[in-house]
């Protein structure tokens, strides 16, 4: 059994939230599908199946190793399927499974939220950075 696999993980009776317990299965699954690259890979595959290098070219900044790990993780969780194309030269194509398709609407909602609230998030960041800068300046002025 692989470390961190769902078979190894048991949900505590009081596990009502994925944020509560490190071994809560829902938390484990969220970590698997909502990490830095998984959402972007699924977005790239949303329209049509793609080959590995097509995915890589569509995601600026992803390394070959990170993409390989991400695709394997998504495949292991039943979200993406890998298909070997047997014509010459042999190629591999990835596509979203029916289970993976169930994530489209939640991810679209998350994208809509980010585009709607990005200005407010940007303002909050600027306020935070300003406060932090002022606090650091005050500390340096007092010699602390």
User: What is the residue-level pLDDT of the chain in tens, covering all 144 positions?
Assistant: 344 444 444 555 555 665 666 777 777 888 888 888 999 999 999 999 999 999 999 999 999 999 999 999 999 999 999 999 988 788 899 999 999 999 999 989 998 999 999 999 999 999 999 999 999 988 888 865
DSSP state of 21: -
Phi, psi of 12 (to 5 degrees): -60, 150
The SS3 assignment for 69 reads helix
Residue 143 lies in a domain: yes
In terms of DSSP bridges, do strands 80-85 and 50-51 run parallel, antiparallel, or are they unpaired? unpaired
Residue 82 lies in a domain: no
Residue 130 lies in a domain: yes
What does the pLDDT read at residue 94?
Answer: 98
Residue 109 lies in a domain: yes
The structural domain count of the chain equals 1
Domain residue limits at 133: 103-144
Match 């990835």 to its residue by tokens. 94
Peptide bond connecting 89 to the previous residue in cis, omega within 30 degrees of 0:
yes
Tell me the whole-structure pTM to 2 decimals: 0.73
């Amino acid at each position: 059994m692989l470390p961190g696999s769902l078979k190894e993980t048991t949900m505590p009776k009081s596990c009502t939230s994925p944020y509560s317990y490190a071994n809560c299965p829902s938390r484990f699954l969220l970590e698997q599908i909502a990490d830095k690259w998984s959402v972007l890979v699924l977005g790239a595959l949303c329209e049509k199946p793609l080959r590995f290098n097509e995915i890589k070219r569509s995601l600026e900044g992803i390394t070959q190793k990170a993409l390989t790990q991400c695709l394997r993780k998504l495949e292991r969780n039943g979200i993406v399927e890998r298909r070997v194309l047997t014509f010459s030269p042999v190629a591999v194509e990835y596509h979203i499974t029916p289970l993976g398709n169930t994530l489209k609407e939640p991810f679209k909602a998350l994208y809509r939220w980010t585009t709607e609230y990005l200005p407010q998030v940007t303002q909050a960041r600027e306020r935070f950075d300003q406060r932090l800068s002022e606090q650091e300046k005050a500390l340096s002025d007092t010699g602390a």
